[in-house]
């Protein structure tokens, strides 16, 4: 049975190999929490003495996947907020369009009864119809944006669900 080298051991071996052909740069001075460990020294640790290194490497792999999943969920939540906001904007546009339709119907009824000043009524009716057309255009544009955002939300949900399964499988493998 062939044993697989963890990623850290492989990178340490490659670093040691690269440094055999000439001078090497000193290790980085600081990482997130302090100085980095020289990969050349790590490469010299016997394979049977790397239990803690392998466990820490596995813990880092799980933590990195958890971080990736959390970022995906955050992005999904933002897209869902955008979808909800578009829903409010769309409802407002529909309400505005309905108000304009009501005003048009009222004015047409007034004009049919020959009430008010004909010139002013005609100008107001034309303005109301122009506003309604503009409102309908905005509503259609919002509807298109909402449909596109809905597709994005569904796609992101599927990707998050798949990533959750991957992370759960990784955690199960790691014990």
Per residue in 41-88, pLDDT tens?
Answer: 888 889 898 888 888 888 999 999 999 999 999 999 999 999 999 999
Confidence of residue 28 (pLDDT cuts 50, 70, 90): very low
Higher-scoring residue by pLDDT: 37, 160: 160
Contact (CB, 8 A) for 166 and 65? yes
> Between vectors from CA 4 to CA 33 and to CA 42, what angle results, nearest 5°?
35
Contact (CB, 8 A) for 90 and 146? yes
Helices 51-112 and 7-19: crossing angle, nearest 10°?
Answer: 110
Indicate the pTM of the whole model.
0.66
Confidence of residue 8 (pLDDT cuts 50, 70, 90): very low
């Amino acid at each position: 049975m062939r044993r697989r080298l963890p990623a850290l051991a492989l990178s340490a071996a490659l670093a040691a190999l690269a440094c055999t052909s000439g001078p090497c740069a000193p290790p980085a001075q600081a990482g997130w929490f302090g100085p980095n460990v020289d990969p050349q020294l790590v490469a010299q640790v016997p394979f049977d003495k790397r239990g803690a290194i392998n466990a820490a490497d596995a813990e880092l792999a799980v933590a990195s996947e958890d971080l990736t999943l959390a970022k995906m969920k955050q992005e999904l939540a933002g897209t869902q907020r955008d979808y909800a906001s578009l829903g409010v904007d769309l409802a407002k546009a529909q309400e505005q369009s309905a108000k304009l339709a009501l005003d048009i119907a009222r004015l047409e009824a007034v004009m049919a009864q020959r009430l008010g000043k004909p010139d002013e009524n005609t100008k107001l009716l034309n303005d109301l119809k122009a506003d309604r057309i503009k409102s309908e255009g905005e509503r259609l544009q919002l509807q298109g944006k909402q449909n596109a955002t809905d597709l994005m939300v569904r796609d992101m949900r599927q990707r998050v669900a798949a990533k959750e399964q991957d992370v759960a499988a990784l955690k199960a493998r790691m014990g």
